[in-house]
Structure 1
Amino acid sequence: MNIRTPQAVLAALALLTLAGCGGAPGPQTSQATATENAQPGHGVIAGVAQVAEPQLHLVAIDAAGKASMLDLLNGTKSQLGSVQPPANVTSDGRYVFAANAKGVDIIDSGVWTWDHVDHFHYYRSEPAALGTVSGEGAATVATGLLSTAGTTGMFFPSSGSAVLVDNSALSAGTISETLRLVVEPHAGLIAPLGDGAVVTEADGHGMAARLRAVDATGKELTTAECPAAAGTITTRVGLVIGCADGAVIATSDAATPVLEHVPYPAGAAAPSTTFDARKGRPTVAGIGADQGVWLLNTRERKWDWLPTATPVLAAAAVDDDAGHVVVLGSDGTVQVYDENTKERVATTKPLMPATLASPELTGKVELTVDGERAYVSAPAEGVVFEIDYADGARIARTLTLPTQPVHLVETGR
């Protein structure tokens, strides 16, 4: 049973959207519209079904690497085969990147959204295992806004290999590296920016301390200092990379990259080491060591501190009209805050006592948000909680997948 937005309403909206695609383009352009206009038919992809609503799915991977998928619209469960036991798992809303000590295994979930800034197209095809990108050390993976264009970055810390993988080739079932740089081994990252990327550079102590913007051939174009660089996310505005003293927002004007430092306010609390938000939205949530959440508005280049009732395990900014921020507390509660008033507007009861009793599994708890729901994994309990954050943090469903959700991502977004 589908208890999300009624399909009839979404179908009507989608039909209106598709009808509007035939008009003249608006003044705002993007990589999405440019890529789409190169297609033989607007929004048409050969051999792929275009559908009326987002095909939202959850993908779970257990400790042994067995993967499965749950259709959030109709409840269908399916097996996706196996990958090497992953250290971490990332998704761009279509592909699932499972990183282990010797490479990154890639699964195509077969569902995705094509973002055209002012409207969206939704697609569904068959899931598939695509293969592996080889490297040494569990990679940090950085994705862009589109799964069908641009690139995905993979940085392998033990070898210092910084790799860009072509997303268009992935959509054809092929893994194609467009760039592979070898730098000093360190816990770093490479994140897509325009036709090139931003790559971290280590200092004399082997710590990520500087950012280098490079073009598609690896040629350095500009640099910026970024002590203890960690955490990255791409918004409509640009690429965000966290630093000990703030963040760098990277944008690309034609072929010219711009790296802009946004410092923390004076007397700031512990820096963010990870960022999360509803896909593409300009305001992102970052967590550090203190009891609260950093909110970075990438459009206004502004930080805001949101105190929380408990220490934070995970946080994501919904960035909707109501300013919802969803937080997973260290006590196992899911808390919802108003980013404008800083008030906690709703909370659940503690949801995952067995998971919190396991230090290993506590570090694997995942929180993901979309336009209507938040999903929180409880690996030890073997379930995923679907939270209606706009309705008093109501637990809409308790979901199970064929494999234990030690790692969890949402696709179809």
Structure 2
Amino acid sequence: MNTTIPNPGAASTARPPETPNRRRALPAAASLAAALLLTSCGQPTSAGPGTTKTAEAASPAPQEAAAAAPRLVMTYDGGLMTADARNLEVIAKEPLAGFNRLNPAGDGRHVLVSTGDSFQVYDAGAWSSKHGDHAHHYRTRPGLTPMKFGAAEPGHATHHAGMTALFSDGTGQVGVFDPAGLADGKPEVKERLLEHAHHGVAVPLEDGGLLVTLGTEESATGIAVLDAAGKELVRNEDCPGVHGEAAANGAIVVGCEDGILIYRDGRITKVDSPDGYGRMGNQAGTEHSTVVLGDYKVDRDAELERPERIALIDTATARLRLVDLGTSYSFRSLGRGPHGEALVLGTDGSLHVIDPDTGDITKRIPVIEKWTEPLEWQQPRPTLFVQDHTAYVTDPAQQKLHAVDLESGGITITADLPHAPNEITGIPG
């Protein structure tokens, strides 16, 4: 069942006037303005030690191919592995110690690995170059490059509006760069330092501005929007526990412990949860819909809540709809399909396909066996990643990877993996 909750109290929230008891979470506009850092060019990309070579990937020199070669990059305990997204064959492995996190760099070729004290650039080894009405396709050996973006406690890397923003949780520093030239060397990075370090996120905007979270090491409170020069335009601090971000058609959202904030048309709107504590800390959006998919948790004191409802938030109307799935899921279960459909990988082992406008569950696709979310968020669990018309589902317990055709609703390929996968992302090639 699903429930639609109107939000009569939603209001556009500009920056309120200063009061003596109001805590500031950003410095004055002058101190927010970035120093433009021009960094030196990196070395040519190369594979790191331990790369598994195949006939296709044996040469470091790029080879032209007849078609695009989409690829998947996965972490495992002790390294990274890259698979051909068409047949799921693992074509490269690379040792890398530590708990590593993955984010697309934004250029369709590279992946950013959050590890240690930096975001390190990983070359997935496939890309396409457009020439007029056609494109040329290239392949090379996947592997870590020497290129790094220094960051104390590297957190989220977010690509939006053609730019990529790196958030350093340890300092509150945000670095923004154009990823288009990553293959040619390290790009210039525009740095902005927020007033307080916190676990946060930054989203580049179409006009050259930046949406940033507000918070301290103890708490997170909301968001602010800066123009291209770093001047603050609007803020909202009515968002306890601010977490996550997603872009919808014409909007950016971030989650709160009691609702969600929508930034649209220069204004910030708060949509309240129907419960006093209704956390929507993880979201999935798409340019094909104004509706954002979010998780929904209501037990503040749970060691690990296993929710069975999801939230659909229409960013154009500020209306919230809750949908009961009849099964739980994890924060790595959310995705969007090629037509804007909402996708949730349930602990029942099925991929639930939801109409974002009505909340109707239109299809349930069995993929894996029933599973239980581990208590520690860093531990592997089945994870959903969507690329083009295919949903990829990892099964770490069985060391398998499944490809699901979202048009037919069937599993097209299942592959055995050499390691239990944890995080997964991909490139279109």
TM-score of the two chains, using structure 1 as the length reference: 0.71
Where does residue 315 of structure 2 map in the other structure? 298
- Alignment partner of 1:272 is 2:284: no
Where does residue 176 of structure 2 map in the other structure? 164
Where does residue 373 of structure 1 map in the other structure? 390
Q: Say if 1:215 and 1:167 are closer, same or farther in 2 by CA, change over 3 A.
A: farther
Judge which range, 331-340 or 301-310, deviates more.
Answer: 331-340
Q: Say if 1:334 and 1:120 are closer, same or farther in 2 by CA, change over 3 A.
A: farther
Q: Say if 1:230 and 1:408 are closer, same or farther in 2 by CA, change over 3 A.
A: same
Q: Say if 1:75 and 1:87 are closer, same or farther in 2 by CA, change over 3 A.
A: closer
- Alignment partner of 1:229 is 2:237: no
- Alignment partner of 1:315 is 2:327: no
- Alignment partner of 1:405 is 2:421: yes
What is the aligned length?
A: 349
Report the Cα offset of residue 375 of structure 1.
0.9
Q: Say if 1:274 and 1:357 are closer, same or farther in 2 by CA, change over 3 A.
A: closer
Q: Which runs of 5+ in 1 are unaligned?
A: 1-46, 253-257
Residue of 56, 63, 67 corresponding to 2:80: 67
The 8 Å contact of residues 143 and 234 in structure 1, kept in 2 or not, is answered as no
Instruction: List per-residue Cα deviations over 1:69-124 (Å, max 9, x = no partner).
Output: 22223555422644453342222454322213422222132446899xxx997854
Amino acid at match of 2:361: E
Where does residue 227 of structure 2 map in the other structure? 215
Q: Say if 1:412 and 1:86 are closer, same or farther in 2 by CA, change over 3 A.
A: farther
The 8 Å contact of residues 372 and 388 in structure 1, kept in 2 or not, is answered as yes
Matches within 5 A, 1:3-402: 55-64=69-78, 66-73=79-86, 77-79=90-92, 81-91=94-104, 92=106, 93-111=108-126, 124-126=138-140, 127=142, 129-130=144-145, 131-144=147-160, 150-194=162-206, 195-202=208-215, 206-225=218-237, 226-250=239-263, 258-264=266-272, 266-267=274-275, 270-277=278-285, 282-289=290-297, 290-313=307-330, 314-318=333-337, 320=339, 324-339=341-356, 340=358, 342-343=360-361, 345-348=363-366, 350-351=368-369, 353=371, 364-391=381-408, 393-401=409-417
Report the Cα offset of residue 398 of structure 1.
1.0
User: Counterparts of 2:250 and 2:183 in 1: how far apart (Å)?
Assistant: 25
Q: Which runs of 5+ in 2 are unaligned?
A: 1-60, 298-306
Higher relative CO (Cα under 8 Å, sequence separation at least 6) belongs to: 2
Report the Cα offset of residue 262 of structure 1.
4.4
Report the Cα offset of residue 181 of structure 1.
1.3
User: Counterparts of 2:222 and 2:418 in 1: how far apart (Å)?
Assistant: 43
SS in structure 2 of the partner of residue 153 of structure 1: strand
Q: Say if 1:86 and 1:265 are closer, same or farther in 2 by CA, change over 3 A.
A: closer
Amino acid at match of 1:297: D
Report the Cα offset of residue 405 of structure 1.
1.8
Percentage identity across aligned positions? 21
User: Counterparts of 1:165 and 1:84 in 2: how far apart (Å)?
Assistant: 27
The 8 Å contact of residues 163 and 190 in structure 1, kept in 2 or not, is answered as no
Report the Cα offset of residue 310 of structure 1.
0.6
Please report the RMSD computed on the Cα atoms of aligned residues, expressed in angstroms.
3.6
User: Counterparts of 1:277 and 1:400 in 2: how far apart (Å)?
Assistant: 30
Amino acid at match of 1:144: H
Report the Cα offset of residue 220 of structure 1.
2.4
Report the Cα offset of residue 283 of structure 1.
3.3
SS in structure 1 of the partner of residue 243 of structure 2: coil
The 8 Å contact of residues 310 and 331 in structure 1, kept in 2 or not, is answered as yes
Report the Cα offset of residue 287 of structure 1.
1.0
> When you count helix as a share of all residues, which structure comes out higher?
1
Where does residue 26 of structure 1 map in the other structure? none
SS in structure 1 of the partner of residue 180 of structure 2: helix
The 8 Å contact of residues 326 and 337 in structure 1, kept in 2 or not, is answered as yes
SS in structure 2 of the partner of residue 170 of structure 1: helix
User: Counterparts of 2:122 and 2:288 in 1: how far apart (Å)?
Assistant: 22
The 8 Å contact of residues 50 and 121 in structure 1, kept in 2 or not, is answered as no
Where does residue 11 of structure 1 map in the other structure? none
Report the Cα offset of residue 270 of structure 1.
2.3
